[in-house]
Amino acid sequence: MRDSFGDKVFYAINYTFLTLVALLCLVPIVNIAAVSISDPAAVMAGKVTIFPIGLNWDSYSALIEGTPIVRSFGNSVILTTVGVVLCLFFTVLAAYPLSRKGFYGRRFFSLAIVFTMMFGGGLIPSFMLIKSLGLVNSYGAIWLPGLVSVYNMLIMKNYFENLPEELEEAARMDGATEVLFIWKIVLPLSLPMLATIALFYGVGYWNAFMSILIYINDTDKHNLMVLVQNMVRSQSIMQSMNNLQPEDIANITPEGVKASGVIVLMVPMLLVYPFIQKYFVKGVMIGAIKG
């Protein structure tokens, strides 16, 4: 069936609008990348837009040598990796029983969990609880409160509910236990959902900021997000950078170093997303639609 003139106009408007939105999102990133590798004189003169002027990688060298970015990067990797594994594990443990029709108290527990989406204790009670558990200044204070996202759990629960009941019946006839059924059948079939939920959790932990400032007092445990934010806010970043020679400082600018930090912060998520993107739409749609 051929598209009518009205359909063609509609598609043209949609493509134009989405292209403009994409450019609005892309241009700031390209500008920051260009600033991070441009000549210091061009950066100070404000001549750099979306194309770098005179390639200069000294900002990245200064960032690595003069700031604890390597340590902060490692902290972010540990925080994100362990957090994603723990969250996936406990989200599956919460979602699977609630998806089983024979689970006693299923409605009560579902309503109790959904209740927490609308009502919470607040920041001060949460801090007092974390402090009483002895988790202040440890990553446990970041992992524990967010072990299960109710939104992600509900998506996963709906996904499990859509799996054919015949799979479970066949597994039972073959003598599979509940754990074996989950490990060998449910989880392999749920790879798109698990990848999607892992992306949600991963982005959240990688971008963790306020929770780090509230619960982590030791600056050696700060993640990359907090370090880059402090760099961006700093008015004297050049004076705070250690292990730099005077000739090295002459070849960099504060704007270039800050831009380099922002790029280092963004690149890991930009590299991970293409590998998960093929599961993303499928996982969200199947998990969000029941029936």
Which tens digit of pLDDT belongs to each residue from 143-153?
A: 999 899 999 99
Which one, of 269, 215, 270, lies nearest residue 80 by Cα?
A: 269
The rounded Cα 282 to chain-centroid distance in angstroms is 19
Answer yes or no: is pLDDT of 250 > 70.
no
Q: Cβ(56)–Cβ(39) under 8 Å?
A: yes
Q: How confident is the model at residue 130 (pLDDT cuts 50, 70, 90)?
A: very high
DSSP state of 145: G
For residue 291, name the pLDDT band (cuts at 50, 70, 90): very low
Mean pLDDT, rounded, for 255-277: 87
Over residues 59-81, the mean pLDDT reads 91
pLDDT of residue 234: 76
The confidence score (pLDDT) of residue 206 equals 95
Provide the greatest CA pair distance for the chain: 75
Instruction: Render pLDDT for 168-220 as a digit per residue (tens, 0 to 9).
Output: 888 888 888 888 888 888 888 888 889 889 999 999 999 999 999 999 999 89
Q: What average pLDDT does this structure show over 110-136? A: 89
Q: Are 72 and 202 in contact (CB under 8 A)?
A: no
Angle among Cα 177, 182, 185 to the nearest 5 degrees reads 105
Residue with tokens 């063609």: 8
Return the sign of the alpha-carbon dihedral for residues 73, 78, 84, 85.
positive
- Give CA–CA dist 280/193, Å, rounded: 8
Q: Check residue 283 and give its pLDDT.
A: 53
What Cα–Cα distance (Å) separates residue 220 from each residue in 62, 210, 236, 243? 19, 16, 20, 18
Determine the average pLDDT of the residues in 53-60: 86
Which pLDDT does position 54 carry in this prediction? 84
The continuous run of DSSP H or E covering 67 comes out as none
What is the pTM for the complete model shown?
0.85
The answer to whether the CB of 73 falls within 8 A of the CB of 224 is yes
